[in-house]
Structure 1
Amino acid sequence: MEKDVKSLLFKYRSLIGLIVLCIIISVVTPRFLTVTNVLNVLTQVSVNAIIAVGMSFVILTGGIDLSVGSTLAITGAVAAVMVKADINVVLALMVALVIGGLVGLFNGALVSKGRIQAFIVTLATMTIFRGVTYVYTKGTPVSGLGSDFMVIGNEKIAGIPLPVIIIVIVALAAWYVLNQTRYGRYVYAVGGNEDSARLSGINTDKIKALVYVVSGVTAALSGVVVTSRIGSASPNAGVGFELDAIAAVVLGGTSLSGGEGSVTGTIIGAMIIGVLNNGLNLMNVSPFYQSIVKGLVILLAVMLDKKNK
């Protein structure tokens, strides 16, 4: 009985951690549970959560994608330039997503066909596409984007911010793909044991390449949302976002070695980071200490994961 309880507690550790964190912060600062602040947290979390969902696919195969922040920057800049040139907002969004997919395909091809470690590939492309963004924008923000484009990041439907609705749609789509499709089963299989998956007839190279495409597309979508929210595309946008996305995936219970994890856990992980950031801000904790706290929380999550194996 005791073993079953421990197993149950470990299984839902991320959700329990989120609930406990919310309770502690709400006791320390009553402003946390106001409707305005809760909606603000959800809106802030949405950007990281969208990226983290795509990152989940990559990490489930045992890979990593460090280029998502740079992908966010270049796609946001392209969308902004197109909108500023009076090109249709929907077309600008589609072009941004296609570019994100192509960046992901480039990463995936180098990892799967080039047999280069994902860390090295995406570290290199992180630098390359950040440089491309600086060249494309000439190092200056692109602003004056118009009200139609601003709707994506700032509109509310029935009182719910549109970015929150977007992440719900993205999460549901990702959950369906991973849990209800053959491709999703193959993603878990490749992460669990790539050699066994290959011997069973799975095209592991294709599966690995496609997860980076998913990651690139979600990073691009986040780029459009961020650019729309602030009304400007900065060449510095997305710096460090890859770390928050990886942290959300790890905090959500996905194993860095691959083969184990869920989209639901990733969303909870993103919420933990968002709630922690918001709570520390409300308590006027210095940003320097916030980084230390966040790092310790991530380290604790990894240690718990290792202890269970």
Structure 2
Amino acid sequence: MSNNEKMPGTANKPRVSLLKRFFLQSYSSAIVAIVILVLVFTVFTDAFLTPFNIFNLSRTAAVYAFIGAAQLILMVIGDMNLGIGACGALSTVVMGTLMANYGMGTLPSILAALAVSAVCGLVIGLLVVKLNLNPWIITLAMSFIFNGLAIGSSHGYSYEMTAALTWAGRKKVGMFSFLFILMIVLVVVLYIVFRHTKYGRDVLAVGGNRTAARLSGINVNWIVISCNILSCIFACVAAILWASRTGTASPNTGSDWMMYSIAVCAIGGIPLLGGSFTALGFFCGSWILTMVRNGLTMLNVDVYYEQVFLGAIILLAVSVESVRARVAEKMM
């Protein structure tokens, strides 16, 4: 047989190699899940892929992306923030109070809310570094404080948002929401930071091994503090987008964000132990959570059982990713 002749079946080798390379990626299971969900909900519902529903999906997924980013930035260093929702609630109350009670403009009110969230993150970061306590305990305690300040200062009342703010939550760009554009920008920025900047590489190094990172000259304490600041800022942005979507700034904002933030990261293949990040997986995680909630509503699933399905999906996603990682390790 000459060298130019091919053995039977060799024509399929490039395809097998491509599938193998896809399977080795941590985002592969998330992409497969999206395809399956789209097929299932399209077949069993009549309005899943209608322009109105795509618009609704896109703006909800965008908010979930920022909620997930608030948790992601700490998960990559092996920590977690249980006060994301509380920080978002406090930030949105600050913004609403300044607009409604003091007549402050939309942009100054937003900047003030972002400043408050940055201070919240700074306080959490300093407590974690100086007290050397488990971040779970500190963020849990701070969540009660933030919630108390939000409810106490507003007395439980919500604030109507200005037309300038609600414009962002209701503006269409084609079939998608304007918030979806912000989501794309967020994912791209996260990709660039973690892939092409020293700060991003230092964050991943701290998540991989803090002792080794410290010995290599990385200021671990600064990384921990800055990640907590960014976490609370992302939570504030999520709260602002949530207010632009609903039209009100409520002290009850973020009551279930802790669960959703972990779900976005876990479904997207972000390891809970830190040291790794995949932009595409994170993007898919936001969409999967959104599609599941939307699809269950369209299928008339009892709302009281919704969390059962969400919990099962998170458990399934983590289990599938664990199996995929083990198989991929053997294949390499």
TM-score bucket of the superposed structures, by smaller chain: over 0.9
Give the secondary-structure state (helix, strand or coil) at the position aligned to 1:236: coil
Q: Normalising by the residue count of structure 1, what TM-score does the alignment of the two structures yield? A: 0.94
Percent identity over the alignment is 28
- Where do 5+ consecutive residues of structure 1 fail to align? none
Q: Normalising by the residue count of structure 2, what TM-score does the alignment of the two structures yield? A: 0.88
> Which portions of structure 1, spanning 4 or more consecutive aligned residues, are displaced by more than 6 angstroms?
1-4
AA aligned opposite 1:98: A
Q: Does 1:34 align with 2:50?
A: yes
CA contact (8 A) 1:77 1:235 kept: yes
Aligned residue number for residue 157 of structure 2: 140
Q: Does 1:248 align with 2:289?
A: no
Q: Does 1:110 align with 2:110?
A: no
Q: Return the match for 1:229 from 238, 245, 251.
A: 245
CA-CA distance at 1:158 after TM superposition? 5.1
AA aligned opposite 2:40: I
Q: Return the match for 1:119 from 126, 129, 136.
A: 136
CA contact (8 A) 1:255 1:305 kept: no
CA-CA distance at 1:159 after TM superposition? 5.5
Whole-Å separation in 1 of the counterparts to 2:108 and 2:72? 27
AA aligned opposite 2:235: A
How many residues are treated as equivalent by the alignment? 308
CA contact (8 A) 2:58 2:176 kept: no
Q: Does 1:267 align with 2:286?
A: no
Q: Does 1:86 align with 2:86?
A: no
Give the secondary-structure state (helix, strand or coil) at the position aligned to 2:131: coil
CA-CA distance at 1:100 after TM superposition? 1.3
CA contact (8 A) 1:152 1:163 kept: yes
CA-CA distance at 1:164 after TM superposition? 1.5
AA aligned opposite 1:203: N
What do residues 69-97 of structure 1 show as CA deviations (whole Å, max 9, x unaligned)? 01111111111112223212111111111
Give the secondary-structure state (helix, strand or coil) at the position aligned to 1:31: coil
Whole-Å separation in 2 of the counterparts to 1:280 and 1:183? 40
Aligned residue number for residue 8 of structure 2: none
CA contact (8 A) 1:245 1:270 kept: no
Aligned residue number for residue 303 of structure 1: 319
- Where do 5+ consecutive residues of structure 2 fail to align? 1-12, 327-332
What do residues 223-278 of structure 1 show as CA deviations (whole Å, max 9, x unaligned)? 11112222222211110111101110011001001112223211210110000011
What do residues 155-193 of structure 1 show as CA deviations (whole Å, max 9, x unaligned)? 334564222222222222222111110000011111111
Alignment of 1:110-259 (within 5 A): 110-143=127-160, 145-157=161-173, 160-259=176-275
Whole-Å separation in 2 of the counterparts to 1:215 and 1:192? 19
The change in CA–CA distance for 1:102 and 1:263 in structure 2 (over 3 A counts) is farther
Whole-Å separation in 1 of the counterparts to 2:135 and 2:17? 37
Whole-Å separation in 2 of the counterparts to 1:17 and 1:9? 13
Q: RMSD across aligned C-alpha pairs, in angstroms?
A: 1.8
Aligned residue number for residue 40 of structure 2: 24
What do residues 187-220 of structure 1 show as CA deviations (whole Å, max 9, x unaligned)? 1111111111111111111111111111111110
Whole-Å separation in 2 of the counterparts to 1:253 and 1:187? 18
